[in-house]
Amino acid sequence: MSKVTVMDHPLIQHKLTFIRDKETGSKEFRELVEELSLLLAYEVTRNLPLSEVEIETPVCKAKTKQLSGKKMGVIPILRAGLGMVDGILKLIPAAKVGHVGVYRDPETLKPVEYYCKLPSDIQERELIVVDPMLATGGSAIAAIEFLKEKGGKNIKFMCLVAAPEGVDAVQKEHPDVDIFVASVDNELNEHGYIVPGLGDAGDRLFGTK
Ligand code: URA
C-alpha cells in the first residue's frame, strides 16, 4: 500500500486557511497555491539521492553533497494543476514539465486523453503528478494509468486538499504511488465538491465561473 503524507507544517496550514477563505481573490489565491506547491515539493523530494563531490571553499578543500542527477518530471493535470507548476519549478528548476488532460470515461472506466505532451524520456524520470484537488480520484487515477502506459515507472502524486474517498481510490488503483497532501478533508458533497474544501480550484486560479 502506498504512503500518504499529510503535510501539517504550520506555514502550510496557515496558507491553506487563506486559500479556503472565499474572500481570497484570484491573484492572492494563485500566489498562495504557488507557495504551497513549493513547500509540498520540499517534502516530496526528501529522498532524492545525493552523491559526494569535492569542491574548494574559500577556506579549504571539502567533500560535500549534491543531487546525483536524478531526472525529474512535473506533470500537471489540466487545468488546475497548472497553478502548482511554477512553485515546484522554483525548487527544481531542471525538472521537465509534461501536460496531461485526461478524464475517466464513466462507462468504460478507461482513461480518455484529450491533451498530452510529455518529456520524451519519462521512463527515466521521477514523476510528480500534480492537481490541487483530489476529489473522487477519477482524473488522478486516469492520468497515472496513462503515464504508466507511456512507460512512467516512478510516480508520486501531490495535491493540496483531498477527500478521503479520493485518497482511498488512488491507493487502491495505484498502490505504488505515494500521495503528498496538505489536508485530507471530511468528505465529498453531492456535487462532487470537497467539504470544507476551497471550492473550484480551477475557477479560483483563473478567475472563471
Ligand atoms: N475539484 C475542485 O476544484 N474542487 C473540489 O472541491 C473538487 C474537485
Atom of ligand 1 nearest to the CA of 195: 6
Assigned C-alpha cell, 33: 497555491
Ligand 1: which residue has its CA nearest to atom 4? 200
Q: What is the pLDDT of residues 80-115, one digit of tens each?
A: 999 999 999 999 999 999 999 987 677 776 768 899
Atom 2 (ligand 1) nearest CA:
200
Tell me the average pLDDT of the chain: 95
Q: Please compute the mean of the pLDDT values over residues 105-131 and round it to a whole number.
A: 89
Between CA 130 and CA 81 the distance in angstroms is 5
pLDDT at 104: 67
| Residue located nearest, by CA, to atom 6 of ligand 1 | 193
Query: Which residues define the annotated binding site?
Result: 79, 104, 131-139, 194, 199-201
Q: From the CA of 193, give the closest atom in ligand 1.
A: 6
* Tens-place pLDDT, residues 143-156: 999 999 999 999 99
Q: What is the ipTM of this complex?
A: 0.96
pLDDT exceeds 90 at position 118: yes
The verdict on the CB of residue 135 being under 6 Å from ligand 1 is yes
All three cell numbers of 17? 486557511
So what's the pLDDT on residue 107?
76
How far is Cα 107 from Cα 178, in angstroms, rounded to an integer? 27
Asked if residues 101 and 115 have their Cβ atoms less than 8 Å apart, the reply is yes
Report the C-alpha gap between 194 and 53 in whole angstroms: 46
Asked if 116 contacts 122 with a C-beta cutoff of 8 angstroms, the reply is: no
For the annotated catalytic residues, the residue numbers are: 104, 108, 200, 203
For 162, 163, 190, the CA distances from 194, given in Å and listed in that order, are 7, 6, 10
Between the CA of 135 and the centroid of ligand 1 the distance, in Å, is: 6
Nearest CA to ligand 1 atom 3: 200
What torsion, rounded to 10 degrees, do the Cα atoms 44, 130, 135, 187 define? 30
Give CA–CA dist 141/147, Å, rounded. Answer: 10
What is the C-alpha separation between 65 and 42, in angstroms, rounded?
Answer: 17
Cα-to-centroid distance, 124 and ligand 1 (Å): 31
Q: Which residues are annotated as a binding site for 5-phospho-alpha-D-ribose 1-diphosphate?
A: 79, 104, 131-139, 200
Q: What is the per-residue pLDDT for 69?
A: 80
Q: 188 CA distance to ligand 1 centroid (A)?
A: 9
Q: pTM for this one?
A: 0.94
Residues of each annotated binding site for uracil: 194, 199-201
- Asked which of 41-45, 68-72, 135-139 is least confident by mean pLDDT, the reply is 68-72
The full length of the chain comes to 209
User: Residue 122: CB partners within 8 Å, gap ≥ 6?
Assistant: 73, 98, 147, 150, 151, 152
Q: What is the pLDDT of residue 45?
A: 96
Q: How far apart, in whole angstroms, are the C-alpha atoms of residue 53 and residue 115?
A: 41
Q: What is the DSSP string of 109-148?
A: --EEEEEEE--TTGGGSEEEEE-SEESSSHHHHHHHHHHH
Percentage, residues of the chain above pLDDT 70: 98
